[in-house]
Amino acid sequence: MLENPIWFGNKLISWYLQNKRDLPWRETKDPYAIWLSEIMLQQTRVAQGLPYFEKFLTQFPTVFDLANASEEQVLKLWQGLGYYSRARNLHATAKHIAFDNKGKFPSTYEGLLKLKGVGDYTASAIASICFKLPTAVVDGNVYRVLSRVFGIATPINSTSGIAQFKALAQKLIDPSCPGTFNQAIMEFGARFCVPSNPDCSTCIFSDVCIANKQKQVPYLPVKVKKAVVKNEFYNYLVCLFKDRKTLMEQRTDRGIWQNLYQFPLIESKKQLQVSTLKKDQEFIRFSEQINIQSISKFNDRVIVHKLSHKHLYTTFWILEIDALYEGGVPFSEIHLLPVPVLIQNFIYSFLPFKN
DNA sequence: AACTCGGGGCG
DNA sequence: CGCCCAGAGTT
């Protein structure tokens, strides 16, 4: 029954007609006003975009008024809304429509798609709302509603996911009122099927929603997060006590290498030299507890250890300590401790010199 | 396919 | 603080 497009659309539109907000762009089918609203609402909440929509329509009632304004004027009025390339593209497209097209917007999906700043979503929205064409919109709301109701776990920001959700929305759209269908599914996602803690018990789809039945609502839609590779600077303090012992500590914090061992670690914001290490607050606190005789770098050239999400720029510091230490780990025993490869490689290259 | 572009609201 | 918002353009 979920595969019955008419049933899905009817239920959705019925909900929409009873629950929709009164919004100014719902009072018109003028392509200029609809286009303006759709550009403004890209990645922007209705509440944030609404006052800008009013301001723009007052200052630029027609596409000719917008086209005849200066870019500076347009950007000034856009100020605070963010994503300023939208404003520049808006202005460029207004000039194109006004001066090259006699003020007339394209009336096909393909024609609309050619406009600067108009992608698949916006072209589909204008085509369906203004020209009654059956082009399905897929925005953040649609991803959420469809992934949950149909139980689709394909990442929404993957190439296959984008195609899959577009195809499903296209199959579901009511060709007799595509504009209403598109606005209904978006409104439903924005007002009812919300990202966190939706009230599934009173949902019109509660009995058929796959995510609801399988208790997967909090986990849908799936989105793969881009692995931002961060650069971090690690300084391992390799202590040499007179009795051939050193200091090792266990990583207990959540994160990489949990519960593995390492030499005392100082993280810094950039690469350190002996002089700058000595000024580091964490190093100062460390050195106050022991009598450091000498400081030298083991690796003159920084060792880059690459993880999937971070690059560790690592320096091993050799600290000769003029003392004995009861709690230390004998160098002859450090191979018994679980350590990261980064540490293991160091030990292999360092120990031959000490044995 | 991954990056970049903003400001604001919310848990 | 991280996620998300009526996405699109560039690399």
For A226-235, write each residue's pLDDT tens digit. Answer: 766 677 789 9
Among A27, A38, A110, A249, the active-site one is A38
Question: Is A43 within 7 A of strand C by CB distance?
Answer: yes
Residue A6 CA to nucleotide C2 C1', Å?
Answer: 38
The predicted structure's pLDDT at residue A353: 52
Q: Which residue has the higher pLDDT, A225 or A23?
A: A23
Residue A91, pLDDT > 50, answer yes
The predicted structure's pLDDT at residue A146: 97
The predicted structure's pLDDT at residue A209: 96
Give the mean pLDDT of chain A: 91
Residue A312 CA to nucleotide B9 C1', Å?
Answer: 35
Q: What is the mean pLDDT of residues A215-223?
A: 95
Q: Which has the closest alpha carbon to A18: A198, A132, A184?
A: A184
Q: Which residue has the higher pLDDT, A323 or A18?
A: A18
The DSSP call for residue A226 is P
The predicted structure's pLDDT at residue A212: 97
Lowest mean pLDDT among A159-168, A243-252, A322-331: A322-331
The CATH 1.10.340.30 portion of chain A extends over 5-219
The A 93-132 residues near strand C by Cβ under 7 Å are: 115-123
Question: Is A139 within 7 A of strand C by CB distance?
Answer: yes
Kindly report the bases of strand C lying within 7 A of a protein C-beta atom.
3-9
Residue A190 CA to nucleotide C5 C1', Å?
Answer: 9
Residue A186, pLDDT > 80, answer yes
> Percentage of chain A with pLDDT > 70?
94
Residue A312 CA to nucleotide C7 C1', Å?
Answer: 34
Q: For A79-115, where are the alpha helices, taking DSSP H only?
A: 85-95, 109-113
Class of domain A230-354: alpha beta
The predicted structure's pLDDT at residue A12: 97
Kindly report the bases of strand B lying within 7 A of a protein C-beta atom.
1-9, 11
Lowest mean pLDDT among A111-125, A179-193, A269-283, A301-315: A301-315
Could you tell me if A40 and A117 are in contact, meaning their C-beta atoms sit under 8 angstroms apart? Answer: no
Could you tell me if A186 and A120 are in contact, meaning their C-beta atoms sit under 8 angstroms apart? Answer: no
Could you tell me if A149 and A57 are in contact, meaning their C-beta atoms sit under 8 angstroms apart? Answer: no
Assess whether A38 carries a catalytic annotation: yes
Closest CA to the C1' of B6: that residue is: A82
Question: Is A41 within 7 A of strand C by CB distance?
Answer: yes
The predicted structure's pLDDT at residue A61: 97
Question: Is A153 within 7 A of strand B by CB distance?
Answer: no
The predicted structure's pLDDT at residue A226: 74
Question: Is A48 within 7 A of strand B by CB distance?
Answer: yes
Q: Which residue has the higher pLDDT, A345 or A104?
A: A104
The predicted structure's pLDDT at residue A281: 92
Closest CA to the C1' of B9: that residue is: A45
Q: Which residue has the higher pLDDT, A1 or A119?
A: A119
Dist. CA A161–CA A154, nearest whole Å:
5
Dist. CA A280–CA A275, nearest whole Å:
9
Residue A355, pLDDT > 50, answer no
Could you tell me if A177 and A134 are in contact, meaning their C-beta atoms sit under 8 angstroms apart? Answer: no
Residue A249 CA to nucleotide C10 C1', Å?
Answer: 46
Q: What is the mean pLDDT of residues A198-219?
A: 96
The CATH 3.90.79.10 portion of chain A extends over 230-354
Sequence-ordered list of residues with C-beta below 8 angstroms from that of A84, at least 6 positions apart, any chain? A75, A78
Nearest nucleotide, CA A227 to C1': B2
- CATH code that applies to domain A5-219: 1.10.340.30
Residue A81 CA to nucleotide C11 C1', Å?
Answer: 25
Structure token pair of residue A175: 């060709």
Lowest mean pLDDT among A45-54, A81-90, A231-240, A334-343: A334-343
The A 195-224 residues near strand C by Cβ under 7 Å are: 195, 223
